[in-house]
Structures are given as C-alpha cells and as structure tokens.
Amino acid sequence: MDDKKGMTADDRSRTPSRREVLAGTGAVGLMLMNASSVFAQGADGAHTIRVGFISPRTGSLASFGETDGYVLDVARKSLAAGLTVGGKKYAVEILDRDTQSDPARASQLAKALIDSSKIDVMLTTSTPEVTNPVADACEAAGVPCLATVLPWESFYFGRGAKPGAPSPFKWSYVFSFGVAQFAEAFASGWSELPTNKRVAVLYPNDADGNAVREHLAPLLEKAGFTVVDAGPYEDGTTDYSAQISKFKAAKCDIFNSFPIPPDFAAFWRQAAQQGLTKTFKIAQIAKTGLFPSSITALGPLGFNLSSACYWHKNFPYKSPLTGVSGVQLADGYEKAANKQWTQQLGASMSLLDAGFEALKVSSDPKNKASVAKALSALKTTTMVGKVDFTSGPEANVSTTPIINAQWIKAAPGSKYKLDYVITENACDRNVPVAAKLRPYA
C-alpha cells in the first residue's frame, strides 16, 4: 500500500492526473459546444416543433400500423436537419404512439401528448376507432389534428356533423376516401365481369359499417345494383350462419364487406365451409383485405379477392417530404423488414407529407391557430395524390381516390405468395392499370 494515499501503484496508474481531467473536461465542453452549435444551426437555437403521431401498431388493427415504424424512420431522417418555416429553422420531434387498437387508449394517448408533451399538431391514421377519439381530444383542447385512412363520413358525420350544416369542427381535418369514391370504383370495377348485379353486403355495427350502409348502399342501388344486406352485426361475432344462409338464398354474384380483419377471416372460412364462396364471381373487401399478411393467412381462400386500394407502390406520386417514390418506399421497407410491402406505407407517408406541408405554409408552426388555418386552406400533392381542403365536399374534408386491386397468386419463384395488381382506376386516371379483373370463383 502507498502510506500517503492508501492506494497501490496499480490504483495510481488507473487514476487520471489533474492534466488529464482538465483535458477531458475540455473535450466534453467542446463536444457540448459543438452539439449546441449544431442544434442552433438546425433549430434556430430554441424552437422545436413537436408532432404527435397516433396509429394502431398492435391489437386487432395491427396490420394497419405494421409499416409505420419504417415510415417514421424515413421521415425522421429527412427531418434530421430541421424544418424551415418563414425563413427560420426548427428542430422536429415526432412522438409516435400505439393505440393497441383500443379507442379509449387512443383518447388517453392523445390527451397525454397534448397535456404533457405539449405537441403543436396531431397526425392520426387508420380507422375511426383510432382517429375519431384522437380528433375529439384535439378538438376539445384546441390542437390542430389531421387524419386519414377511413371513410371521411365516419370521421365527419360520425363525430356529430350534419349534412348541409356549418362544420362544428375548428381544429380537426381529414383527407381520405369516401363512399362516393367507393361507389365509383366498385361500379367501374364490377362492370368488368358479367354478373346478376346482386350484391351481398356484410356491414358491421360500427362507425365504418354504419356510414357505408347509410351512404354507400343507396349509391350502389342508384348505379343499378341490388343490395342484399344481412343486417348489422357486432364486431367480434363468431357465428355467421344466418348471414351465409341469407346470401345463399339471394343467389348473389358479388360480395362486399367492411369488417375488421379477425371478423372477415372467421366469416370467409365459414362461408367456404358452407359452399358460399364458390358462388361469388367478385369478392370485394374493404378495411380488411388491404394487407398481404391478412390475405396470406387465408391460404388459397385469399386468391383473387378484390381490395379497395388507397395506395399502391405504382402510384405515380413522390413524397414531397422525403423525395422517395412509391417503388423506392416499398422496396426499402421490404429490404429493411424482410416483409412484403403494404399500401399503408404510402398512406402514412402521405399523412406526414400533408402535415408537414401545413406546418411549412403556416405563418407560425408554434401557433396552433395558424397551423389550423393552414390546414383549412391546404393544397398539395402527397404520395397518395392531391389533397385540397378548399374544394369540399364538406368543410374540414378533402377526398382522395380509391382504386380497385386484386390479390393474385404470385408467379413461380416469387419471394412472396401473392401479388397485388391494379385492375381499375376510375377515381384517378393517372394510376396505371396492370391487369384485368379475374373471377373469384
């Protein structure tokens, strides 16, 4: 032992000298100075824009949020140097949250982001079970909110707005497809095959199902189709024998549904067991039927299902936020995740595209009223196409297209079991059609 210090020679050899301590302190100080200068250069030294992003990453709606982590990574890299608004640079923080497919949790997460995280704007996506409680929380708190990926009627009328009446919403906006887009796409796509025009519809007793029953079914009737509605059913139903019997008796050639994924899987397997699926010439699925994981899980029953497509990697639009094309986004995801691309990639990217464009054109991204005003007048082109809040059909609403696509068996040697091909483009003629519609059965 060293009788002066109570330390061994080895201990002293491991103890930094005063000079080393000062040198280290200087290095740390230099690092902090550099970090401060980088922050100052990227964010004007003081300002950070905080953006909430709420979607379902787990639970029954998890297929909608499956790709959101990758999309957010791409966006964050593009925003790493900050966002310039009015000649001033701001740092950007995106705070993403998972609703676990629970509307109550969606509301709680929104309130926490508003009250604790002090977000400047909220972005939310994928079904009214997610977007509506989030938007309601934002409306109550006076926080600008932008939503997508649900029939806009579910968001607008489903939250209390009345047709023809002034909008009750000051803070919440939605750009998405609606029943008019579904009706146009379905009528166009279903005319590609000879049928008796009798449509078996399975619409749930939820925000989506009730909106399409009220608004879509009359448009299909007007287009010359006979709608056979089995009546509203509750999410989570396990026995569909009554509905199957009704559809078989009606001898419908076309099937249409807006279910959550587990419900459709249960219904479709029971329909196959009872001989119903082989009678359909066209099986058009919305809300479910959108993602390869859901269709692959059905095995051969998934081949030739038609799907309402709100984005495809072959859409001809780039992301203005990140500069990536649809093919680049899809290929990047497949390489990073080792999974097949999904249409939610482009939809979630378009939400970020539109949200950040509103921030850029606002007079002050830290002023909530300014951001809401920018949303109300927003006109831009995102990865899903045009977004224009100045042209209706209602205040706070901008419509986007629905394209018909079909899941077909992939060619031999393909990495994946299914290909997703565009079969119809009435809602946006810029989208390239790749194949003719094949009969389901």
Instruction: Write the DSSP assignment of 144-165 as a string of letters.
Output: -EEEESS-HHHHHGGGT--TTS
Distance CA 421, CA 437 (A): 9
pLDDT at 14 over 80: no
pLDDT at 105 over 50: yes
pLDDT at 7 over 60: no
pLDDT at 96 over 80: yes
Burial 261-292 (b: 16+ CB within 10 A, else e): bbbbbbbbebbbeeebbebbbbbbbbbbbbbb
Distance CA 62, CA 99 (A): 9
Q: Which residues pair with residue 387 across a beta bridge?
A: 380
Residue 335 is predicted with a pLDDT of 97
Predicted confidence band of residue 22 (pLDDT cuts 50, 70, 90): very low
Predicted confidence band of residue 211 (pLDDT cuts 50, 70, 90): confident
Alpha helices, DSSP H, located in 127-223: 128-141, 152-156, 179-190, 207-222
pLDDT at 392 over 90: no
pLDDT at 10 over 80: no
Phi-psi region of 65 (alpha: psi -120 to 50; beta: other; left: phi over 0): alpha
Residue 39 is predicted with a pLDDT of 35
> Residues 237-294: pLDDT tens digits?
999 999 999 999 999 999 999 998 889 999 999 999 999 999 999 999 988 889 999 8
256-to-63, 109, 202, 253, 344 alpha-carbon distances in Å:
20, 33, 6, 10, 21
pTM of the model: 0.85
